[in-house]
Structure 1
């Protein structure tokens, strides 16, 4: 097998591989910048919580129409928004912090969603919802993922400056402008929207991986916000491509393969990145050669 057959052949020969690659790359382009803002706002685990929160809505969509893209997408988006709003209300009306409220609601949502899918579906259907089927993406799913990416990127461009200001000092933004709370809510909606888009390909349990791992890896290479977003998108694209290749050639489930490649890039960046462990140790005052 030559290099072309190994690296390009699967995507040329098989339409399902082409659709999988296109879908995963669209998700990477959309979710990467969102993951960067989640990381900068110290909300990385909140993204994981909201990924689980969409499950009961997707379960209701499954009960109504089976494994149809639109009902499960609408249901998942509605459920994610409800959980995010409820967590915010609890944190504002009680002594409990927002991350604790999210943890409580996502555990309830996860159990409820699994129960709903199990009422009508088989174990195969449950695995589809939890871990996705990137190799089974059809044209409707690609259209939905593309629409999610378009809405997400346009919305991020519109709220870029106040969102960045909120990352630096949310209390200052709220004191000088009334945009703080609306921007926070819009951003949470974009997080849910991207998780719903990713859920079609990677499932509820892995969708957050393509959002957070590239962003976390990018932090070890660059500093500026624009560069962080660009590097995160690049890592997501590479992870999608290499993950699908690994899946094809070694018969590994595609969704986990993509996330494991992203995880390997994160670990590599942790040690070898421009701001990673090795470079930091070499340039620290204690290790400089006089």
Structure 2
């Protein structure tokens, strides 16, 4: 088929699609759990929190994927740790403590990059370069995807119990609850670091959260919601890359824009909680 020609002919298009596939499989299910735990803002905050560490790696090693990735991982985990301490020692909840930290982290990261880098370097770090994904970056993303899925499988049961009935786990097994939450946030940061290398710090959370909240309009059970979210993320990536190729749009924003369109369609037509489904249910209830 002619519209598949870019993926057939060009290696960089295949690498871009495969990297998005990895993120769709590992990051999007984490986004579903974040939304269920009412920590959607945490994903956005942690994506910004990655930036200062990536900027420090950039200052010392230039545009080194490894240095910026390690720096971003350390910075993201540090912000998650500080946020946890604030939420447990003050009256603020965790999402509020994240909101108090992430804009400062974003501003610090941009300031550090501006000390050495050009405007183009800043744009690449903020918005990514999806069509310039290297073989090493794809390999790193693939390994992160595999490790995330394996670790999520290990902590899945206590994580879901803590998500739907946090008091049950924290009263009887408090150390397990703390360890599970810590590992979950580690997975979130790890996937945001992988996404940062592909979509940039501002766009990486888009493929994690937007398909996740879209899927909740199509399913009410957890596993089907995760599967639908991954499918929406993959379709957004595929369509976004084709739009980028044929319309000369920036690839990363095109992918996230497609996921936003899926979100609006889901709000309207989702069979579980979409506007049309709720409206028809109310109409049929009133008629009966």
Shorter-chain TM-score above 0.5: yes
Q: CA deviation at 1:202?
A: 0.5
In 2, Cα distance between equivalents of 1:93 and 1:273: 40
- Distance in 2 (CA, whole Å) between partners of 1:253 and 1:81 is 30
Structure 1 gaps, min length 5 = none
- Matched pairs, number: 286
Q: Does 1:191 pair with 2:188? A: yes
Are residues 1:268 and 2:270 paired?
A: no
Hey, what's the Cα distance between the residues in 2 that align with 1:5 and 1:279? 37
Pick the aligned partner of 1:136 from 120, 123, 132: 132
**TM-score w.r.t. length of structure 2:** 0.97
The corresponding residue for 2:8 is 12
Q: Deviations over 1:134-157 (max 9, x none)?
A: 000001100111111111111100
Distance, in Å, in 2 between the alignment partners of 1:253 and 1:265 is 19
User: What residue in structure 2 maps to residue 223 of structure 1?
Assistant: 220
Match in the other structure for 1:49: 45
- Give 1:202-281 correspondences, 5 Å limit: 202-275=199-272, 276-281=274-279
Q: Residue 41 of structure 2 contacts residue 99 of structure 2 at CA under 8 Å; is this kept in 1? A: no
After TM superposition, the structure 1 = structure 2 runs for residues 101-140 of structure 1, keeping only pairs within 5 Å, are: 101-140=97-136
Please tell me whether the aligned partners of residues 281 and 287 of structure 1 are also in contact (alpha carbons under 8 angstroms).
no
Number of the residue aligned with 2:58: 62
Kept after mapping to 1: 8 A contact 2:29/2:226: yes
Distance 1:288 1:132 in 2: 51
SS at match of 1:208: helix
Gaps in structure 2 of 5+ consecutive residues: none
In the TM superposition, what is the alpha-carbon distance from 1:176 to its structure 2 partner? 1.7
Aligned-residue CA RMSD (Å): 1.1
Off by >6 Å, runs of 4+ in structure 1: none
Verify: 1:201 aligned to 2:198, yes or no: yes
